[in-house]
Every structure is written in structure tokens, then in C-alpha cells.
């Protein structure tokens, strides 16, 4: 992906990035998270709202761009079957939300794991 394309997509508002995320993940059948050297995934604490969420991206380029200031984070792929079978139930059990495709602005589309699963399954049914 060119730097111009990356920058253009990152400048979308959070709702447009959410729609882009659903479309891209529907095509690629995977999401991307960031993990540290101990393979622990990145969680973000939203202080204003007092909850934690797992940020996810539609491709490794966006995750890498988000983590460019951090030396110990790297992108990790999660297939949709693994996301639906393992991650969604685990996130629900742990009380974590999902922050879909954080971008350049401070806004992120935060959703319940089951809602993201429903939206992704709706997207997949269009293929």
C-alpha cells in the first residue's frame, strides 16, 4: 500500500474507518493486533470512559503505523475463525471491548465483541 493510500485512509473519520475495516477484513479474512516481545496483546485503557479495549486493524501496515513510536510492538494476524472461536468469547469473559481501526484522530469506533462479530458475519454473507 502506498504512503498516500495509507494516509488517506487514516484521515477518514472513525465511522468511515469502521466501514473500511469491515470491507477489508471481509476480503482478507483476518484482523491484526499488536503484541509485545512476550506475545502479550496491546490493550488500551480509555480513562474518560473507564474501560479497556483491544485495538484491531484491517492490515499490518496500519498496525505498524500506529505503533511506529513503540519499539517493542509488532503486528500479529488473527484469522476470522480464530477471532470468532477464541478471541470474541475471551474478550467478553474479560470484559474488554474492541476498538476498531484507531487512526490519526483521537476517535476510535469502540464496540462490544459480539457486535463486531455480527457485523463481520453480515459483511461475509455479502461475499
CB-CB contact of 18 with 57 (8 Å): no
The 10s digit of each residue's pLDDT in 74-119 is 999 999 999 999 999 999 999 999 999 998 777 899 999 999 999 9
Q: What is the pLDDT of residue 24?
A: 96
The 10s digit of each residue's pLDDT in 7-39 is 899 889 999 999 999 999 999 999 999 999 999
Kindly list the domain boundaries of the chain, sorted by start residue: 3-125
Give 28-56 as a DSSP string.
Answer: H-EEEEEE-TT-PBP-EEETTTTEEEEEE
CB-CB contact of 97 with 108 (8 Å): no
CATH architecture for the domain at 3-125: 3-Layer(aba) Sandwich (3.40)
pTM above 0.75, yes or no: yes
For the chain, report the end-to-end CA distance as a whole number of angstroms. 23
Q: What is the pLDDT of residue 114?
A: 97
Cα torsion through 47, 48, 52, 57, rounded to 10: -110
Amino acid at each position: 500500500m502506498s504512503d498516500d493510500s495509507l494516509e488517506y485512509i487514516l484521515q477518514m473519520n472513525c465511522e468511515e474507518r469502521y466501514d473500511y475495516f469491515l470491507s477489508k477484513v471481509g476480503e482478507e479474512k483476518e484482523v491484526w493486533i499488536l503484541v509485545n516481545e512476550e506475545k502479550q496483546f496491546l490493550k488500551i485503557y480509555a480513562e474518560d470512559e473507564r474501560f479497556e479495549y483491544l485495538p484491531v486493524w484491517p492490515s499490518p501496515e496500519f498496525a505498524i503505523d500506529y505503533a511506529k513510536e513503540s519499539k517493542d510492538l509488532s503486528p500479529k494476524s488473527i484469522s476470522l475463525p480464530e477471532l470468532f472461536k477464541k478471541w470474541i468469547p475471551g474478550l467478553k469473559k474479560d470484559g474488554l471491548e474492541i476498538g476498531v481501526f484507531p487512526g490519526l484522530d483521537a476517535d476510535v469506533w469502540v464496540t462490544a465483541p459480539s457486535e463486531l462479530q455480527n457485523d463481520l458475519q453480515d459483511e461475509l454473507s455479502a461475499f
